[in-house]
């Protein structure tokens, strides 16, 4: 097998898995092959998808971030509380939420880099901080009635042909496009992959390892906060419990998308297909109506195990060649 094809094999497998799942669901359930269902793959997974974009960049560098779900919950309830209880304009509240998310990410990145602490432990602490902050702000869900947010919740772009793209789907597409450009068409993205492949080699090549690692956690924190804003638009309310376990969904989406969990190899298009796979399974379960939500976790778990084994097999072959 050619080296270029071998490098793209996880992405090709992910794309093939999506096609098989989507076609199978379309054959099994009437009405599944429709533009509305396809758009819902983006709409219903928008929050997870935006978080997965930032997580992809972090995993490129060989890191991990367990705080994203908690940041989503914190952003959600902060936004609702500022707007509804303190009369802050949604644009100002959203800016503050994004700044706080990015700030937490930068802080964790500095701890990881300066003190050489494992990302798992630092971001675990960040998870507790963000979730605790969310519960400190409020212990109850808060409905948002501001006209701007209500309008965004109900808005949909109609390019023609009966296609309607809601705000949340548009945000996810924009985040994926920005993530693709950043990951694969900038020096920053190349640095991330180099650091994830071998950090010592990256240092010897003179790459800005410290700055890159801090910046990637900063960007991931901003993506998590943006995912929280997407959740607010989608649900029309803020909830301190929002995003519990979502960090695991985001990691699963990235790994199913073919990105190597140890870093150094992956593609943002793989994350796109991972999101589509997640959404397809979710939509198929809704169409079926007989199977509970537990089956989403079961199928995703089986797919995750399969892709981990595929990665291990590929790395084993690469090691034997070297």
The whole-number average pLDDT for the span 131-135 is 97
The whole-number average pLDDT for the span 148-173 is 93
* CATH top class, domain 3-321: mainly alpha
Distance CA 222, CA 105 (A): 7
Distance CA 127, CA 131 (A): 6
Considering only residues 306 and 75, tell me which one the structure prediction assigns the higher pLDDT.
75
Share of the chain above pLDDT 90, in %: 79
Query: Please, what is the average pLDDT of the chain?
Result: 92
pTM: 0.95
Find all residues with CB under 8 Å of 168, minimum gap 6, and list them: 42, 43, 46, 47, 230, 233, 234
The whole-number average pLDDT for the span 35-42 is 94
Q: Which of the residue ranges 15-24, 76-85, 254-263, 300-309 has the most confident prediction, judged by mean pLDDT?
A: 76-85
Rg (CA), the chain: 20
Distance CA 182, CA 174 (A): 12
- What digits encode the pLDDT tens for the residues 77-129? 999 999 999 999 999 999 999 999 999 999 999 999 999 999 999 999 999 99
Considering only residues 212 and 297, tell me which one the structure prediction assigns the higher pLDDT.
212
Res. 5: pLDDT tops 80? no
Domains of the chain, residue spans? 3-321
Kindly state the tokens that stand for 28.
């099994």
Kindly state the tokens that stand for 317.
């072959």
Instruction: Give SS3 for 156.
Output: strand
């Amino acid at each position: 097998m050619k080296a270029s094809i071998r490098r793209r094999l996880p992405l090709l497998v992910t794309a093939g898995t999506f096609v098989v799942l989507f076609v199978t669901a379309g054959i099994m359930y009437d009405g599944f092959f429709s533009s509305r269902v396809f758009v819902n793959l983006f709409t219903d997974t928008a929050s997870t998808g935006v978080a997965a974009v930032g997580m992809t960049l972090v995993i490129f560098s060989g890191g991990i971030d367990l705080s994203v779900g908690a940041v989503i919950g914190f952003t959600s309830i902060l936004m609702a509380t500022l707007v509804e209880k303190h009369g802050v304009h949604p644009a100002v509240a959203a800016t503050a939420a994004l700044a706080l998310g990015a700030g937490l990410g930068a802080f964790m990145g500095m701890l990881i880099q300066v003190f050489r602490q494992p990302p798992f432990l630092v971001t675990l602490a960040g998870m507790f901080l963000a979730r605790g902050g969310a519960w400190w702000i409020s212990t109850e869900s808060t409905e948002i009635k501001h006209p701007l947010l209500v309008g965004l919740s109900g808005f949909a772009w109609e390019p023609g042909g009966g296609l309607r793209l809601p705000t949340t789907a548009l945000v996810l597409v924009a985040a994926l496009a920005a993530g693709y450009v950043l990951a694969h068409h900038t020096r920053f993205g190349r640095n991330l992959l180099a650091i994830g492949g071998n950090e010592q080699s990256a240092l010897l090549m003179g790459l800005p390892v410290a700055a890159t690692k801090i910046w990637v956690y900063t960007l991931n924190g901003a993506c998590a906060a943006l995912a929280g804003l997407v959740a607010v638009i989608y649900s029309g309310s803020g909830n301190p419990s929002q995003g519990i376990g979502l960090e695991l969904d985001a990691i699963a989406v990235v790994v199913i998308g073919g990105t190597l969990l140890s870093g150094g190899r992956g593609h943002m298009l793989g994350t796109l297909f991972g999101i589509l796979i997640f959404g397809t399974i979710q939509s198929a379960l809704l169409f079926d109506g007989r199977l509970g939500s537990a089956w989403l976790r079961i199928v995703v778990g089986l797919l995750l195990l399969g892709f981990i084994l595929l990665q291990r097999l590929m790395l084993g072959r690469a090691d034997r060649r070297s």
